[in-house]
Amino acid sequence: MSMKISVVGTGYLGVTHAACMAELGFEVIGVDVDPHKVRMLSEGHLPFHEPGLGELLRTHVESGRLRFTTDYEQIAEWADVHFIGVGTPQRNDGHGADMRYVDAAVIELATRIRGKALIVGKSTVPVGTARRLHGLIAATADPQADITLAWNPEFLREGYAVRDTMTPDRLVLGCEEAGSEAILRQVYARALDAGTPVIVTDFETAELVKVAANAFLATKISFINSFAEITETIGGDITVLADALGHDARIGRKFLNAGVGFGGGCLPKDIRALQARTSELGLTHTMGFLAEVDEINLRRRERVVRLSHAMLQDQLVGARVAVLGVSFKPDSDDVRDSPALDIAVRLFNAGADVLVYDPEGNKNAAERFPRLFYANDLAEAVANADLVLLLTEWAEFKALVPADLEQLVAARRLIDGRNVLSRSQWEEAGWEIVGMGQHY
Ligand code: UGA
């Protein structure tokens, strides 16, 4: 008999996981407390932009293999395996993770399951959570129920969510209870058969792999951005430096792109949550370097604002500034903690006339900051601009050549916040172009 799977939480992680599980041939029900989202998903509409996921969702909703509900009753007894993929946002009162949704999901399930089931945590959580949830399940579950818990962190990137889920770099299975590893090996049989490395470990290690990976990536980005601050001051080419460093296989070239810094719903909040958690554990200094990583990252935004003032000879008030890109990275409409959007808002607050264009992110950005002007296309955004900022490296921006813009703008000034354009090509066409890490 085929395994039945529920996925609790239909955000980025949940919908991707649910659709990919259906693609693997399982019967899947996604659960969410938000009836509007459930209705959209049930009709096959993806509520966010993610390449390839919309098609997968539609295919499996149509085939009937993938359904969505708001009703825990419908899934608690039905599914053999329950994946928890709800959010763990930054808490309002500080930097720790808000565990309210994870706890609620586990209690909703534990109090309803009567038979045998495996609950699998996928959300990014503070270390120690799985062991605490294990206690919570024991305290709230029906004495007849046979519930086991496992921790299986998710490493997918936005923009590559389907690929990362179907063919992950590795699988981490925090399995301490009898039977849970065998079930997860069955769930992930296709990836395992294809040779995906698997790490079977305890709860704490499984939880830590996830936060350590994100902390490492954030550190790598801030590391190169700290060198950008040096080259901005004394000269030198940050991209050449990154290329040269990257040839050392121990370092690697990936995540060494200097720019406006990291954003999104994961890296910034995860490094803050890790600091908060280690402090709770009495390790006040252990993750202290992540405070620096965060600060270096936020200084990138100031750098672009200062550069804008300088390039406009301090005539920012009333200047028309075109902002290309507001999502936190290309191929995503996600504007959570987006450096690009933050810069656009700072320039607006400083008195600039800001025109924003993002191929997918305008709508989400407009919900957060309705006072910015959102252009329908690139030409509208750059029309009569005194300064153009390229802040998110969408393919359509990377492909820009001077001739695309020069008849439209008022002045040939450009900040390349992602170092994706050829400086010499633009300079030859009479542009003043400044990249990240460049002395100005
Ligand atoms: C990140 C991790 O890469 C995933 O492995 C992880 O599963 C996910 O968080 C999560 O915890 O859910 P994601 O937030 O989708 O994925 O984005 P990344 O591709 O990691 O990019 C993060 C930010 O770093 C972006 O703003 C990007 O523009 C920036 N970045 C990336 C740089 O500034 N420089 C680089 O060289 C690379």
Q: Is the pLDDT of residue 119 over 70?
A: yes
Query: Nearest residue CA, atom 27 of ligand 1?
Result: 262
Section 284-297 average pLDDT: 97
> Residue 143 — pLDDT band, cuts 50, 70, 90?
very high
Please state the atom number of ligand 1 nearest to the C-alpha of residue 263. Answer: 26
β-bridge mates for residue 7, sequence order: 30, 83
Q: Classify the phi-psi angles of 387: left when phi > 0, otherwise alpha if psi is within -120 to 50, otherwise beta.
A: beta
The finding on whether 328 has its CB within 6 A of some atom of ligand 1 is: yes
What fold does the segment set 202-440 form as a domain?
Rossmann fold (3.40.50)
pLDDT band of 200, cuts 50, 70, 90: very high
Ligand 1: residue whose CA is nearest its atom 22: 262
Q: How far apart (Å, rounded) are the C-alpha atoms in residues 303 and 63?
A: 51
Tell me which residue has tokens 């790490």.
199
Pocket test for ligand 1, best of 17, 221, 327 (most atoms within 8 A of CB): 221
Decide: 304 and 425 in contact? Cβ < 8 Å: no
pLDDT of the residue at 365:
98
Averaged confidence pLDDT in the chain: 97
Least confident among 69-78, 93-102, 121-130, 391-400:
93-102
| Closest residue CA from atom 8 of ligand 1 | 157
Alpha carbon distance 254, 213 (integer Å): 13
The average pLDDT across 117-127 equals 97
Ligand 1 site-directed mutation target among 262, 296, 334, 335, most atoms within 8 Å of CB? 262
- CATH 3.40.50.720 domain locations along the chain: 4-201, 202-440
Tokens (6 digits) for 338: 């987006």
d(CA 398, ligand 1 centre) in Å: 19
CA–CA gap between residue 237 and residue 33 (Å, rounded) = 50
CATH number of 4-201: 3.40.50.720
CA of 59 to the centre of ligand 1 (A): 28
pLDDT at 229 exceeding the cut of 70:
yes
pLDDT of residue 1: 58
User: Residues 18, 266, 326, 400: which is the catalytic one?
Assistant: 266
Q: Residue 95 — very low, low, confident or very high, per pLDDT cuts 50/70/90? A: confident
pLDDT at residue 141 is higher than 80: yes
Q: Which tens digits make up the pLDDT trace of 404-435? A: 999 999 999 999 999 999 999 999 999 999 99
- Find all residues with CB under 8 Å of 389, minimum gap 6, and list them: 304, 308, 321, 322, 323, 324, 343, 344, 414, 415, 417
Please tell me the distance between residue 221's alpha carbon and the centre of ligand 1 in angstroms: 9
Name the residue at shortest CA distance from atom 16 of ligand 1.
157
Centre of ligand 1 from the C-alpha of residue 266, in Å: 8
Tell me the chain's radius of gyration from C-alpha atoms.
24
Cα–ligand 1 centroid distance for 381 (angstroms): 27
Predicted pLDDT of residue 221: 98
Does ligand 1 have an atom closer than 6 angstroms to the CB of 266? yes
Whole-number Cα distances in Å, 383 to 110, 169, 356: 57, 44, 11
- What is the token pair recorded at 433? 């172009």
> What does the DSSP assignment read for 198-234?
EEEE-HHHHHHHHHHHHHHHHHHHHHHHHHHHHHHHH
Tell me the pLDDT band of 385, cut-offs 50, 70 and 90: very high
> Quick one: pLDDT at residue 93?
75
The reply to whether ligand 1 has any atom less than 6 angstroms from the CB of 219 is: no
**What is the strand order of the sheet 146-151 is part of?**
66-69, 27-31, 4-8, 81-84, 116-121, 146-151, 171-175, 198-201
Q: Do residues 156 and 16 lie in contact, with contact meaning Cβ atoms separated by under 8 Å?
A: yes
Whether the CB of 268 sits within 6 Å of ligand 1: no
Q: Is 175 a catalytic site residue?
A: no
DSSP-derived secondary structure for 338-365: -HHHHHHHHHHHTT-EEEEE-TTTHHHH
CA 202/CA 130 separation, integer angstroms: 10
Find out whether the beta carbon of 332 lies less than 6 Å from any atom of ligand 1: no
Contact 12 CB / ligand 1 (< 6 Å): no
Q: If you search the block for the tokens 């490395």, which residue do you land on?
A: 197
Residue 262 CA to ligand 1 centre (angstroms): 7
Could you tell me what percent of the chain has a pLDDT over 70? Answer: 100
Chain position carrying tokens 């009569």: 384
Whether the pLDDT of residue 94 is over 90: the answer is no
Mean pLDDT along residues 141-170: 97
